[in-house]
Amino acid sequence: MKPNGTSSNTPRNGVHRDGLYRDAPDYNGLPADQLLADEIGDVHGAAALDTPMRPDAFALDDDTKIDLIEEHFREIMNILGLDLTDDSLKGSPRRVAKMYVKEIFRGLNPDNKPAPTLFDNKFRYNEMLVEKDITVQTYCEHHFVPILGKAHVAYISSGKVIGLSKLNRIVEYYCKRPQVQERLTMQIADELKRVLETDDVAVLIDAKHLCVSTRGVQDINSSTITSSYSGKFADDATRQELLRYIG
């Protein structure tokens, strides 16, 4: 560690201080550092359903990731001119690092995916089941500020039903990673279709983006709605029934 909390680029365990492996592949033909440039800007599209991850994403254990993020966030705070000897600030780099790895981005690790609890549909219930107003708390992958809102999910059983809390857990899991709302909606829908073995699934998310309300245009009133309707929910009558339920 250099004076004032800045770090060197001395490799540790084969890892540069920027956290990238020497042989980390380029992404879409671009070097990793170029991906951090402003050229990404405010584009809100998503190129693929999967969250963009490097092949070596889990080569480091959580404790090592926390150590590295702590070091780099301390450097950011120093660059901003903050006094890290102050009692209120000196623990912030560690707190942020633990929050990133153990809390708000824990959904990046597939080991944390909830295991579904399925039951036979003994009652032969063949109408839609709707779980509404599921809390959405995720982070915009362009500015790393919160996206806050509600998710409504619905399915029609193909012979199995899922424990209700697992619907919330699936939403929460995909929220715990940097996101764009369109991808989040599709990831939840695809996971529900996979787990429930049915295409009769609907997901609707209504959320406010702090990257819109607290920076840039600073519009505090707008919200964003995304939806995914498949199977029987592609039928207008079924879709309208769902929309009546969720209001």
The catalytic site residues sit at: 140-143, 181, 209, 211
DSSP string, the chain: --GGG------BTTB-TTS-BTTPPPBTTB-GGGGGSGGGTT----S-SSPP--TTTTSS-HHHHHHHHHHHHHHHHHHTT--TTSTTTTTHHHHHHHIIIIIITGGGSGGGSPPP-EEE-TT---SEEEEEEEEEEEEETTT--EEEEEEEEEEE-SSEEE-HHHHHHHHHHHHSSEE-HHHHHHHHHHHHHHHHT-S-EEEEEEEEEHHHHSSTT--SS--EEEEEE-GGGGSHHHHHHHHHHH-
